[in-house]
Amino acid sequence: MPPRPFGFLLVEGGDEQGVCAAVAGPIVWGGLWCWNAQGRDKLVREAALAAKDPNFSFARSAGIVLDVEDDPAAAHALAAGALAALGGTGTARALDAFLSPDGMSHGSIETLCRRAVRDAALAACVDALVGCAGHPHASQRNAQVAADKGWLKAYLSMLADPTLRFHQAFSTAGGIDPAHPTFDPLRAFLGKL
Amino acid sequence: MIEAVTVERFRGLRRLGVEGLGRVNLIVGKNNCGKTALMEALLIAQTADGGASRVYFVQSLRRSGVAPADFDRFWRPLFWSQDADGGFAIEVRGSQPAPIRLDFRRSASPPPMLTEPTAFAAGAPATWALDVRIANGGERTEQVLGGPAGLKLPAFAGSGREFWIAPNKNVSATDIALFSTLKQAGREAELLGILREVDNRVSGLEILAPTGTVAELFVRLAPDSPLLPIAMMGDGFQRCFEMTVSAVTCGVLFVDELDNGLHHSILESVWRWLAVVSSKRGIQIFATTHSEECIHAASRAFTELKDDGLRVIRLDRRDGETTAAIYDRELVETAAETGVELRG
């Protein structure tokens, strides 16, 4: 961590980190220091590690971005645990968490990205494809997350570069629009850090 | 076992408190952040008795060649900002019933005559005195006296519980004596396994006296091959011998720059060995390192053994203050997985 004031952001994975960077924009992102826990199972321990960094005292605020998945209560409990680990230093810094997509509904960061795709005609085609396939993720555990992931992959694979992951598709023609209003709550969250 | 330590005005440490020490403690941090000083403080305050002798020992390692009766050159650098009148203090807390606190301060009153026989002189005036206040339930004081005629330390028989392994190889007569005791007790095999990790040709260790007077340690590299003096082996082998022969006989082991001379590929084996020995014998280990490989090797070894006894202590210095952060095995493991730098 840098020895100067910053907003600390802890994300559960690389996808969330990429989306946050694109949605925040270079000015806000430049004032943040982001750690990637590389999995939600490591979120609390990564928060504890962050709080032990001597330069964490420079963090004016600390925020966490994670997915609700299919269990809002468990996600909120996980966020509370990670925030507690970050707040262990006893300082008066602001602590907050953003749970994708909206803190309550089942889903993930992909749910937001799915809503923000630029090509409405292609989106309709993907909807049709998912219908033809018989909504194969509906009965799975984490159904909404799986459905959004599958939908987004199908959409992105029809762009000029079919190898892009969704967090790489923000500046691509027909990709994901980081300025889309669906990202406004996340943008506001990042702006407050 | 020591669980917490507070160091005040000792060497470059103005004030440092560390709580939550474990059975095996690996101290990390940038150069001049006080890693070795913290270990020295822990050594000095191991027991209420013998603090002055241990201060003399650690300063002898750093100031070899300087006359110990020369207060300004030998003793003064122990004090923060070289302020001997301000003194320094070390307090340790743990399994002992009462904390041990040792206060060292240059005496304000004129020193007495050195009237008792010392190693250096008798009947000569001392020109300086170092007061040692010892609190451990009760309180008492001792004095180190010095002057042109020599140095007088408070009497201390020495417990022999603690061993200090310096960064450079130094297989000493004490190490050979320790090994002799082990060999006589049929415990040589306790060392051979880990020494073979360093050099798989080693089949045995022998103590010989080629001159008829001085005992030397030799290494057998093959059943019928000539024996090789241990001094002919590499630095890593010699340090590993020092470390292991100390670990199987001591109560507390201090290893400065543990990975010095050791190839990264054997660090995990060394840690596994130390973890098992420290657990089985109930000894506490303190070590320093600059090596990320050494930290990760320790984490892997303790994880494999499902041993929660590891602590990594990170020291950081900012604006003249030193802080310590303690990481347990799970946090060290997470840091390794996510690329978080623990070394400062």
For chain B, how many residues are written?
Answer: 344
For B53-101, what is each residue's pLDDT tens digit?
999 999 999 998 899 999 999 999 999 999 999 999 999 999 888 999 9
Does the pLDDT at position B123 exceed 80? no
Q: Is the pLDDT of residue B336 over 80?
A: yes
Read off the pLDDT of each residue in B139-161 and give the average, rounded to a whole number: 84
Mean pLDDT for the stretch of residues B251-280: 94
Q: Tell me: the pLDDT tens digits for B161-172?
A: 899 999 988 899
Q: Tell me: pLDDT of B290 over 90.
A: yes
Strands (E), B2-53: 2-10, 13-19, 24-29
Number of compact structural domains in chain B = 1
The CB density around residue A57, as the number of other CB atoms within 10 Å, is 14
Residue B32 lies in a domain: no
CB atoms within 10 A of CB B56: 18
**Chain B contact set for A46 (CB, 8 A):** 334, 338, 340
Whether B44 has a pLDDT exceeding 90, the answer reads: yes
CA distance A46 to chain B (A): 7
Indicate which of A52, A55, A57, A58 best probes the interface with B, i.e. most B CBs within 10 Å of its own CB: A52
Say yes or no to pLDDT of A127 above 70. yes
As a whole number, mean pLDDT of residues B33-60 equals 94
What CATH number did the domain enclosing B307 receive? Answer: 3.40.50.300
pLDDT range class, residue B159, cuts 50, 70, 90: low
Rounded to two decimals, the pTM is 0.89
Say if B119 falls within a structural domain.
no
Residue B114 pLDDT exceeds 70: no
- Name the strand (E) or helix (H) holding B266: helix B264-281
> What digits encode the pLDDT tens for the residues B189-198?
989 999 999 9
Instruction: Label residue B27 left, alpha or beta by phi (over 0 means left) and psi (-120 to 50 means alpha).
Output: beta
Fold topology of A6-107+179-192: Rossmann fold (3.40.50)
Do the domain assignments include residue B255?
A: yes
Chain B environment of A48 (Cβ under 8 Å): 331
Residue B315 lies in a domain: yes
- Round the average pLDDT of chain B to a whole number and report it: 91
The CA distance from B311 to the nearest CA of chain A, in Å, is 13
Q: What is the mean pLDDT of residues B103-117?
A: 75
pLDDT of residue A20: 97
Asked whether residue B322 is assigned to any structural domain, the reply reads yes
Chain A residues touching residue B337 (CB < 8 angstroms): 38, 42
Q: Would you call B107 helix, strand, or coil by DSSP?
A: coil
Q: How confident is the model over B227-244, as a mean pLDDT?
A: 93
Give the residue-averaged pLDDT of B222-241. Answer: 91
- Cβ of B338 and A3 within 8 Å? no
pLDDT of residue B210: 86
Measure the CA–CA gap between B133 and B114, rounded to whole angstroms.
20
pLDDT for B102 beyond 60 = yes
CB pairs under 8 A between A and B: 34
CA distance B37 to B27: 11
pLDDT for residue B315 is more than 50: yes
Q: Which domain holds residue B318?
A: 162-338
Confidence of residue B116 (pLDDT cuts 50, 70, 90): low
Report, as an integer, the average pLDDT of A3-15.
95
Q: Which residue has the tokens 């907050």?
A: A96
User: Do B246 and B165 form a contact (C-beta atoms < 8 A)?
Assistant: yes
Give residue B47's region: left, alpha or beta (phi > 0; psi -120 to 50): beta
Question: Does residue B21 belong to any structural domain of this protein?
Answer: no
Could B334 and A35 be called an inter-chain contact, meaning their C-beta atoms sit closer than 8 Å? no
Task: Output the pLDDT for position B7.
Answer: 98
Contact A49 B334 (CB under 8 A): yes
Q: Is the peptide bond before B117 cis (omega within 30 degrees of 0)?
A: no
- Confidence at B148, pLDDT banded by 50, 70, 90: confident
Question: Which residues of chain B neighbour A45 with C-beta distances below 8 Å?
Answer: 330-331, 334
By C-alpha distance, the chain A residue nearest B316 is A54
In a domain, B175, yes or no: yes
Contact call for A49 and B335, based on CB within 8 A: yes
Residues of B in contact with A36 (CB under 8 A): 338
Q: In the prediction, which pLDDT does A48 show?
A: 95
**Above 50 in pLDDT, residue A89?**
no
The one-letter amino acid at A48: A
**Would you list the DSSP string of A20-83?**
HHHHHHHHHHHTEEEEE-SSGGGHHHHHHHHHHSGGGGGEEEEEEEEE-BT-HHHHHHHHHHHH
Domain assignment of residue B50, yes or no:
no
- Alpha-helical runs (H) found in A64-169: 72-86, 109-115, 120-132, 143-156
Q: How confident is the model at residue B112 (pLDDT cuts 50, 70, 90)?
A: low
Contacts of B316 in chain A (CB under 8 A): 54
Residue carrying the six token digits 């050099």:
B199
A35: closest CA of chain B, how far (Å):
9
Chain mean position to CA A107: 11
**Mean pLDDT on A85-104:** 83
pLDDT digits (tens, 9 = 90+) for A24-47: 999 999 999 999 999 999 999 999
CATH 3.40.50 domain span(s) along chain A = 6-107+179-192
Q: Is a pLDDT exceeding 50 seen at residue B276?
A: yes
